[in-house]
């Protein structure tokens, strides 16, 4: 059953990609669509971060990952360089994990 789902998903992705070549250019030049397209990666990345940061299997958990995520968010708001953000989040997560 799993391979059927994988194959069906692959075919669907290919069909969507092929369909994209037939979309008229004037539709893609629409200013509203351009704004929406710039927000899609941000929304997807945010959803991925939250899903990986506070969910274990099917349970929502508050643990060391959320502390690291909070520090990363604070570092981003402080306009820290990206390596500093990642390092601060990793160190915070590790410290909270070992304290717990």
How far, in Å, CA of 7 to CA of 89, rounded? 37
* H-helix or E-strand spanning residue 55: strand 55-56
15-43 burial by CB neighbour count: b if 16+ within 10 A, else e?
eeeeeeeeeeeeeeeeeeeeeeeeeeeee
Residue 56 DSSP label: E
Task: Enumerate helices (H) and strands (E) in the chain, giving the number of each.
Answer: 5, 2
Per-residue pLDDT of the chain (100 residues), as tens digits, is 899 999 999 999 999 999 989 988 888 888 998 999 999 999 999 999 888 888 888 888 888 999 999 999 999 999 999 999 999 999 999 999 999 7
* Locus of tokens 């351009």: 34
């Amino acid at each position: 059953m799993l391979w059927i789902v994988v194959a069906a998903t692959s075919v669907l992705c290919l069909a969507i990609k092929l369909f994209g070549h037939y979309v008229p250019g004037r539709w893609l030049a629409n200013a509203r669509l351009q704004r929406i397209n710039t927000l899609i990666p941000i929304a997807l990345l945010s959803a991925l971060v939250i899903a990986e940061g506070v969910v274990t299997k099917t349970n929502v958990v508050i643990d060391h990952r959320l502390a690291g995520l909070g520090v990363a968010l604070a570092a981003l708001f402080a306009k820290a360089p990206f390596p500093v953000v990642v390092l601060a989040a990793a160190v915070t997560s590790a410290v909270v994990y070992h304290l717990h």
